[in-house]
Chains A and B, each alone.
Chain A
């Protein structure tokens, strides 16, 4: 900032291009279209390079003034030819509902080509802001916030340089000769980089702290509008979900999950909320085994037309007429708990619940009860829907129960105890871990403990190398991973030990704070995987080995793969920084006021100067005469003397003391400084009293 640069240069073009790159990259990534992001990143880099070369060619020529017109024409062309331009984009281009974002990207591309002057360059930031607005609205790219901060810093630097050039231009118009003279003279005391740095720091700190506060303050009124994700993204997600329902891979590398709202749930306490379960380990992931039950078994999936319509004790309709509990998971002495969902933004067709659903409100045709207690939604819940269901949860401890499937699930026993695709090392580990365990429950705990002691939780754990079993690699080589690997390892080891186990995905309630209506908030980052083992009479019991595992970077036992900047540690560090930032001005003010006097000569001189200024100001206020620059303090007091009345001798005496303090070779000691300060204060008080008396 201190370096005065009168010319538009390569730095400005780089800053503008960087701002544009951040925007186009963010929109590409938020659409889950890496090809699109890379295309515009490369294209804008080339355009900016060409634009810079062109700006050098036309510098000082009249044609340079045409840049804004050229940009405007190309912008209009981008609108008119949007379909053609979108057609040449890789990755399918922008989805139809986001063609506006496509136009903005093209406008940025052409802008980098034609921005040859400050006036044009500065306006490149506007489409960028609009693009970031879209990215933020969809909230499908977790790094967007950080990139936006980088963007803000970039354009702030660009704005500062452009503003400085406008000031230099003004200085030239006013007749300033050289920048060097300005730097040494009238601009010598200009606020410099320390202001910019402090401002940037304050802005970032304020944003990081203020945004959550703002959001939690508005929590009651926010979120009334449901945003439909762009078609392309939604299709991909649906495809992923469809794949997830029948097949899911594990150990695929870090997953960045966002804060996007999934739903709000009112339930008795935070519990594991099931979404899907998987029975068959494929060697690289999990799939659902669909089996045919023996003829005559009533436990088949029912089609919507077979839906029971009997009204249950809580006013909803029942899963099975006259038989409130799904027979797939008989739970003895279980407790039926209410479960209410609202503001659902998920696109899942499964109803999340902590146990088998026995009763649900609403239209029976909207739901299909599956034999295992799952409820299949014909359509994902609407944002405005508030649905209450009742789920059965166990009340008894599984500690003394056997891990045996009920007779109704006997046909699936081979599936849930299957040792297929389990590596021998994993089985051996399970045997060793469960040696000496007296009960099935003890075995389960031993396995859980063995995993927790063996591996670390790391959201940045790399992908399992090609050709390797992810669970084996996780337990014996990398020794780190995330929830899917923990859950998979637990299931496989449990099966190795003869326990019926399954792999379950769903959500856990990380944020224990309820809102005013008693709802917990569930976000994308709460997505989780865990192991469930069946205990006779208790049902499927969740085991989460991430709970006791040490973590790398993220909190222990944390289940959501959240970004580092959302971690507790980072937030604590930020709060500490805020406190320091708030205390710093207080310290500086105290120092300036002389509270903190460290005895160094410059501090004494500074304090004397401050007292001198206070003295002059007091005389000015009382006498109504401004002190002229041409006047010494003594001349000023002499001129104002007639108006000072009885305070005149004191003032004249103080002038001598101040002159001695400021100009004599003997430096004032601490006592002298305190005495001088008191004298000035006394004079000010005396003048104040006189003024009151006069009034």
Chain B
């Protein structure tokens, strides 16, 4: 609101000046110089307030979607001058969807001691972000004039992992089958049974430490278990360009990633194997459940709907990795015409289609109104006819 007052003063000074010249009125000359001097002093103060500053910025390297991020900024004046309060605006990248951005605390920089300010926000979209530089906004003591100056700073990086989105769906994976050593072991009931002992690696739960062996070998050894179920899930997420529908913070792809992470976590806890054959090298996957969750989180973080290949083409590309008896979870939003045929062409694999109704999301992005939703009953019928187990996923309002 002080800006409007400043505008009014500027207009008044111009009016006074014109009138003073026209009528040669001494009081108007005094008034115009007073107003001009006020604006000049304010401008000078505002300019001085943003000059000769140095900054250092710290922030967490990684967070999950929706978690608060606090960025701390240390400011230091390079001149021995007192200044009015300044505010700092970080150069957050445009692709970083942030909610609840709290303004930074206004500060008065000091010459001989660093002053700290901070701001917080909640990132609402997965990704790896890197930015540098920041803007400083200074005003005079009256708040009449704003001046901004951009400063270079060291770059800062932030990784935003997806947040698991709980979902209650019925998946009936085929159990007791498998091609790998892990999966093809005999089914031994529902419990987990120890298969071998190996050396401890960071991330292993301490409760699995095998103390007698550790004592003998003078190294920490942990028990390794065999899955009791033999369940193996392969996730394929639709990532074709133009298939992501919805707002940046609440899109079909964000919902898919959140659901995938949640389902994967649940099954990993149950001893199942989880793979994202299109998005990672299946052979490089860690067997340790918690480490595996972190890997999956990384994979999902880097997932973007920017590929030319359709979901059916992705499925075709990885079909040789799909062992008999495994379950493939297909997450699909936009109709892929060849998908039912592709499913039909792959025998002995259980397909579960998690379908996202575009109507739940597309209102926010009118540009893709024309994309046919996979939740169309006809298309669902085709998927079911191809042998897939179909689940229409509930609308996700918020990804975190």
Q: Which residues on A are within 8 Å of B, measured CB to CB? A: 1, 118-119, 122-123, 125-126, 129-130, 132-133, 135-139, 144-145, 148-149, 152, 156, 159-160, 162-163, 166-167, 170-171, 173-176, 185-192, 194-196, 199, 202-204, 206-208, 210-212, 214-215, 218-219, 221-227, 258-261, 592, 609-610, 613, 617, 626, 628-629
Give the residue of B27, B40, B74, B120 whose beta carbon is less than 8 angstroms from that of A144.
Answer: B27
Q: Pull 14 A–B residue pairs with CB atoms less than 8 Å apart, ordered by A.
A: A122-B4, A129-B9, A136-B28, A145-B27, A159-B144, A163-B142, A185-B115, A186-B106, A189-B82, A203-B34, A211-B33, A223-B23, A259-B27, A592-B80
**Bound Cα distance A175, B77 (Å):** 23
Give the residue of B24, B31, B116 whose beta carbon is less than 8 angstroms from that of A261.
Answer: B24
Asked if B35 contacts A152 (CB within 8 A), the reply is yes
Give the residue of A130, A170, A194 whose beta carbon is less than 8 angstroms from that of B106.
Answer: A170
Q: Which residues of A contact B25 (CB under 8 A)?
A: 136-139, 227, 260
Asked if B1 contacts A119 (CB within 8 A), the reply is yes
**Bound Cα distance A169, B110 (Å):** 22
Asked if B142 contacts A195 (CB within 8 A), the reply is no
Asked if B82 contacts A163 (CB within 8 A), the reply is no
Top 5 nearest A-B pairs (CB, nearest first) are A163-B143, A223-B24, A190-B108, A136-B28, A222-B24
Q: Which residues of A contact B141 (CB under 8 A)?
A: 1, 160, 163, 191, 195-196, 199
Q: Which residues of B contact A224 (CB under 8 A)?
A: 22
Interface string of B329-369 (1 = CB under 8 A from A): 00000000000000000000000000000000000000000
Name A134's closest neighbour in chain B (CB-CB): B19
* Interface check B139, CB cutoff 8 A: yes
**How distant is B20 from chain A, measured CB to nearest CB, in Å?**
7
Q: Which residues of A contact B40 (CB under 8 A)?
A: 206
Interface string of B34-62 (1 = CB under 8 A from A): 11011011000100000000101000000
Instruction: Determine, out of B97-105, B190-198, B290-298, B304-312, the stretch whose residues face the partner at the interface.
Output: B97-105
**How distant is A233 from chain B, measured CB to nearest CB, in Å?**
15
Asked if B103 contacts A159 (CB within 8 A), the reply is no
**Bound Cα distance A190, B86 (Å):** 9
Asked if B102 contacts A156 (CB within 8 A), the reply is no
**How distant is A581 from chain B, measured CB to nearest CB, in Å?**
12
Interface string of B69-93 (1 = CB under 8 A from A): 0000010111010111101000000
**How distant is A428 from chain B, measured CB to nearest CB, in Å?**
45
**How distant is A604 from chain B, measured CB to nearest CB, in Å?**
15
Q: Which residues of A contact B84 (CB under 8 A)?
A: 190-191, 195
Give the residue of A132, A156, A159, A167 whose beta carbon is less than 8 angstroms from that of B31.
Answer: A132
**How distant is A149 from chain B, measured CB to nearest CB, in Å?**
6
Asked if B82 contacts A171 (CB within 8 A), the reply is no
**Bound Cα distance A630, B115 (Å):** 13
Say yes or no: A176-B37 contact (C-beta < 8 A), given A132-B31, A187-B85. no
* Interface check B208, CB cutoff 8 A: no
Q: Which residues of A contact B22 (CB under 8 A)?
A: 222-225
**How distant is B315 from chain A, measured CB to nearest CB, in Å?**
49
Say yes or no: A215-B1 contact (C-beta < 8 A), given A148-B31, A160-B141, A203-B41. no
* Interface check B246, CB cutoff 8 A: no
**How distant is B90 from chain A, measured CB to nearest CB, in Å?**
12
Asked if B143 contacts A171 (CB within 8 A), the reply is no
Asked if A162 contacts B26 (CB within 8 A), the reply is no
**Bound Cα distance A334, B311 (Å):** 116
* Interface check B107, CB cutoff 8 A: yes
Asked if A206 contacts B29 (CB within 8 A), the reply is no
Name A215's closest neighbour in chain B (CB-CB): B29
Give the residue of B23, B24, B30 whose beta carbon is less than 8 angstroms from that of A208.
Answer: B30
**Bound Cα distance A570, B173 (Å):** 97
Name A165's closest neighbour in chain B (CB-CB): B143
* Interface check B16, CB cutoff 8 A: yes
Asked if B21 contacts A145 (CB within 8 A), the reply is no
**How distant is B236 from chain A, measured CB to nearest CB, in Å?**
43
* Interface check B147, CB cutoff 8 A: no
Known: A195-B141, A206-B40, A207-B37. 16 other contacts (CB 8 A): A132-B31, A136-B20, A137-B23, A145-B27, A152-B34, A166-B2, A174-B105, A174-B119, A175-B102, A189-B82, A191-B108, A199-B41, A204-B34, A214-B32, A260-B25, A629-B114
Name B106's closest neighbour in chain A (CB-CB): A167
Name B16's closest neighbour in chain A (CB-CB): A133
Asked if A148 contacts B41 (CB within 8 A), the reply is no
**How distant is B171 from chain A, measured CB to nearest CB, in Å?**
43
Q: Which residues of B contact A629 (CB under 8 A)?
A: 56, 74, 76, 114
Say yes or no: A199-B45 contact (C-beta < 8 A), given A136-B28, A211-B29. yes
**How distant is B116 from chain A, measured CB to nearest CB, in Å?**
7
* Interface check B118, CB cutoff 8 A: yes
**Bound Cα distance A592, B80 (Å):** 9
**Bound Cα distance A435, B196 (Å):** 142
Asked if A159 contacts B35 (CB within 8 A), the reply is no
**Bound Cα distance A199, B38 (Å):** 8
Say yes or no: A133-B31 contact (C-beta < 8 A), given A162-B2, A215-B24. yes
Q: Which residues of B contact A162 (CB under 8 A)?
A: 1-2, 143
Asked if A203 contacts B37 (CB within 8 A), the reply is yes
**Bound Cα distance A210, B35 (Å):** 12
Q: Which residues of A contact B318 (CB under 8 A)?
A: none
Q: Which residues of A contact B105 (CB under 8 A)?
A: 170-171, 174-176, 186
Give the residue of B30, B85, B115 whose beta carbon is less than 8 angstroms from that of A211.
Answer: B30
**How distant is B81 from chain A, measured CB to nearest CB, in Å?**
8
* Interface check B206, CB cutoff 8 A: no
Give the residue of A137, A148, A195 whose beta carbon is less than 8 angstroms from that of B34.
Answer: A148
Asked if B142 contacts A156 (CB within 8 A), the reply is yes
Asked if B85 contacts A159 (CB within 8 A), the reply is no
* Interface check B5, CB cutoff 8 A: yes
Q: Which residues of A contact B287 (CB under 8 A)?
A: none
* Interface check B187, CB cutoff 8 A: no
Asked if A145 contacts B30 (CB within 8 A), the reply is yes
**How distant is A147 from chain B, measured CB to nearest CB, in Å?**
10
Asked if B26 contacts A145 (CB within 8 A), the reply is yes
* Interface check B8, CB cutoff 8 A: yes
**Bound Cα distance A221, B110 (Å):** 49
Name B17's closest neighbour in chain A (CB-CB): A214
Asked if A609 contacts B112 (CB within 8 A), the reply is yes
* Interface check B117, CB cutoff 8 A: yes
Name B19's closest neighbour in chain A (CB-CB): A137
